[in-house]
Amino acid sequence: MFRVLVADSIESEGIQLLSAAGFELDVRAGLDEAPLCEAIAEADAVLVRSRTRVTARAIEAGKRLRIITRAGIGVDNVDLAAATRRGVVVTNVPDATTTTTAELAVALLMALARRIPQADRNVRSGKYERTKFTGTEICGKTLGVIGFGRIGRIVADRALGLKMRVLAYDPYLPSDGSPMSGVSLQTLEGLLAAADFLTIHTPLTESTRHLLDGTRLAMCKRGVRIVNAARGGIVEEHALAEAIRSGQVAGAALDVTEVEPLQADSELRGLDAVILTPHLGASTEEAQRRVAQDAAAQIVEFARTGAAKSAVNFVSLPEELREELGPYLELAERLGATAGALAPAPIRRVSLRFRGARFEGSTGDRAAAALRASILAGCLRPALQDAVSPVSAPAVARERGIEVLESREPRDRDYMARVSVELTFTDGSSLGLDGTCFGRKPRLVALDGIPLDASLEGELVVTRHSDRPGMVGRIGTLLGERGVNLDRVDVGSPSDGAAERTAAAPGETAPLAVGVLGVSGSIPAGLVEAIRRVDGVRFVAAVRLPR
């Protein structure tokens, strides 16, 4: 009998689907680690929302466990690495709340324009001050959509229907051509200068944290109105409060805040021009039903066929091949993540080259397909976070107009197997990474054709710098000044080979070397900027990989 532990409360439609499939159900919402470990021991599948934490200990305790399904998008409450190690598939439900969240953003836009919550408060307080609530029309106004993914596109579509002019900013989309009829892509500066309303639909990443800070808010049209129904932390809250007090921002509607629930003493609570909702984006009956049904349907399909179309940790592969390919799947994901972190512009093309006997024949076809999916997922993750997985990555790349090329050769000159990833960007530049596995350890063995031997784990600082004495020392000093311990240093010099791709910086005579610096602990804010200012450093980026 297939047993499902439902460890968070979900809509009854989901429970009905699981019972109708003839599964044995254990419905116990809100388990802490110890009781979860006990309950999970008998389960083949676990269904959670965001509350229950499926820790490595719980996954170890799940001796029969084969699938963990998260009814929602973010899987940060599931220990993915532990699940992958144990061969447990983790799935999510990425699309069920898209329309619902877009509709909340549109509702907040309207509420901002007509100050509906404020007017409601006024009437309830015994007043009836009509003149105080003169609003603004949205027809003919310009809406700036920041982040043009699934939700941003639906908001844009609805806004066009409301006769707004719609501009979008999304640095991960090719800037030539329009992503949607009637919508034009802009630079962030262009969008801020033109928009009467802004709506945010990006994930929270290093590039979006405090995207709207004091400086950017000052670049907006005076009197702009802002909606954030994406993630807290994208708008810097104190800067927003200041901009509202000064009149630079006429109003803001926030469904999400940096700290949730919002602190009792948050200055936002005292500002009449701010509309606050308690993270309601996904809260409609339809979305909750859809999430529960989709999550349950995934478990039913997996139990019957072994297929998991929304798997976030791996593409389904036969057990023997998974065993053999395991370290290479890990290598592929890490090469992809490194390439994504080093990308200076949106990706136009991904060229993959697989060399070695394991990539021959029909087994080789499956191996290459699995590696391709993991590499693409890694490349797309800086833009899409949990919204992309190895399973969805090939389709997402296609949707985003990224060309994927692939070639295979039966052997490599230096290694048993080599995986090469070459990215071409929309600005015409390119980046090449070569990796292999030493035993089970993923290694970076060339960057832009320059041989090196760097371990692909933990926190890395990757540089391209002039190939002259003292450069690594100077960078190391900056790390030391910030209390960062340097674990490993791998330097590749262009004299080791492939010098043609290592053009010197303007005014430089030395060609460019590659540095891969592994640090223990995490890379502090400001370090990358400080390294960038070192004379002779042409490029620097931080890469965060699992240890």
Binding residues for ligand NAD, rule: CB under 6 A, are 97-98, 101, 146-152, 169-172, 201-203, 205, 207-208, 229-231, 255-256, 279, 281-282, 383-384, 387
Task: Report residue 379: phi and psi, to 5°.
Answer: -65, -35
3-state secondary structure of 309: coil
Instruction: Sort residue 506 into left (φ over 0), alpha (ψ -120 to 50) or beta.
Output: beta
Q: Are 90 and 311 in contact (CB under 8 A)?
A: yes
Catalytic residue of the set 38, 129, 206, 260: 260
Active site residue 231: yes
In angstroms, what is the minimal distance from the CB of 523 to ligand NAD? 19
Q: What is the DSSP letter of 390?
A: T
Cβ proximity to ligand NAD: between 78 and 450 the closer is 78
In angstroms, what is the minimal distance from the CB of 287 to ligand NAD? 9
Cβ proximity to ligand NAD: between 144 and 356 the closer is 144
In angstroms, what is the minimal distance from the CB of 333 to ligand NAD? 18
Structure tokens at 109: 């836009």
In angstroms, what is the minimal distance from the CB of 304 to ligand NAD? 28
Cβ proximity to ligand NAD: between 390 and 449 the closer is 390
Rounded-to-integer distance, Cα 37 and Cα 262, Å: 32
Task: Report residue 2: phi and psi, to 5°.
Answer: -80, 125
Strand partners, 385: none
In angstroms, what is the minimal distance from the CB of 19 to ligand NAD? 28
How many other CB atoms sit within 10 Å of the CB of residue 500?
Answer: 10
Cβ proximity to ligand NAD: between 279 and 538 the closer is 279
Q: Concatenated DSSP letters for 247-294? A: TSEEEEEES--SSSSPPTT-GGGG-TTEEE-SS-TT-SHHHHHHHHHH
Q: Is the peptide bond before 94 cis (omega within 30 degrees of 0)?
A: no
Catalytic residue of the set 231, 355, 443, 465: 231
Catalytic residue of the set 28, 209, 279, 474: 279
Q: Which amino acid is at 138?
A: I
In angstroms, what is the minimal distance from the CB of 228 to ligand NAD? 8
Query: Who contacts 303 (Cβ-Cβ below 8 Å, separation ≥6)?
Result: 2, 21, 23, 44, 45
Strand boundaries in 294-367, DSSP class E: 347-356
Cβ proximity to ligand NAD: between 253 and 527 the closer is 253
Cβ proximity to ligand NAD: between 254 and 335 the closer is 254
Task: Using CB positions, name the residue nearest to ligand NAD.
Answer: 149
- The residues assigned a catalytic role are 231, 260, 279
